[in-house]
Amino acid sequence: MGTSYKYKCDECGYEEEFFTGGRPMTKDYHKRTEEAEEELRSAALYGKYGESIRQLMKNEREKIYINCDTELYQCMECRQFSVQIAKEMYMNRQDFTMSVEFRHECPSCHSALLRKTRGSITFCPKCKMFTAQLVSLGKFD
Ligand SMILES: [Zn+2]
Ligand SMILES: [Zn+2]
């Protein structure tokens, strides 16, 4: 299961389509997300994300859900889109909910990336105007 996003800008003619999630559903994709997941777990165990996360990972490992699917991000500075492995951790207990999303860096300018969710208009990576439109949002298996 994956999602495709197509952005189009009427101002400058920019048009690009991105695929996130399991496409292509290959062994490679699974290997990549599994590796990312393992990396995240060991970094957490090593204390990279602070003491409280380290303790949780140590004591409640099986209750922690890790999302390492690919998602679409956009840079807040240079407005480039990029598909990145998500790196999110959740934990749900009756008395406690944890949700951590790790910071992603833009591959071109190293600024912070923002996850693209539903918003249909965004900044165009080419002309930088607030004119890029999400023209299609597809689902595929
Ligand atoms: Zn950037
Ligand atoms: Zn544009």
Per-residue pLDDT of the chain (141 residues; tens, 9 = 90+): 788 899 999 999 999 999 888 655 677 888 888 899 999 999 999 999 899 899 989 998 888 999 888 899 999 999 999 999 988 888 887 788 888 888 899 999 999 999 887 678 999 999 999 999 998 888 876
Q: Where are the domains of the chain?
A: 2-140
Asked if residues 47 and 121 have their Cβ atoms less than 8 Å apart, the reply is no
* Coil vs helix vs strand at 97: strand
Of 115, 135, 139, give the one whose Cα is nearest residue 14.
135
Side chain identity, residue 56: L
Gap between the Cα atoms of 99 and 116, Å rounded = 18
pTM of the model: 0.81
CA of 61 to the centre of ligand 1 (A): 34
Q: Which ligand is nearest to the CA of 76?
A: 1
Ligand 2 centre and the CA of 15: distance in Å?
9
- Ion ligand 2, residue ranges at CB < 5 A: 9, 11-12, 14, 124, 126-127
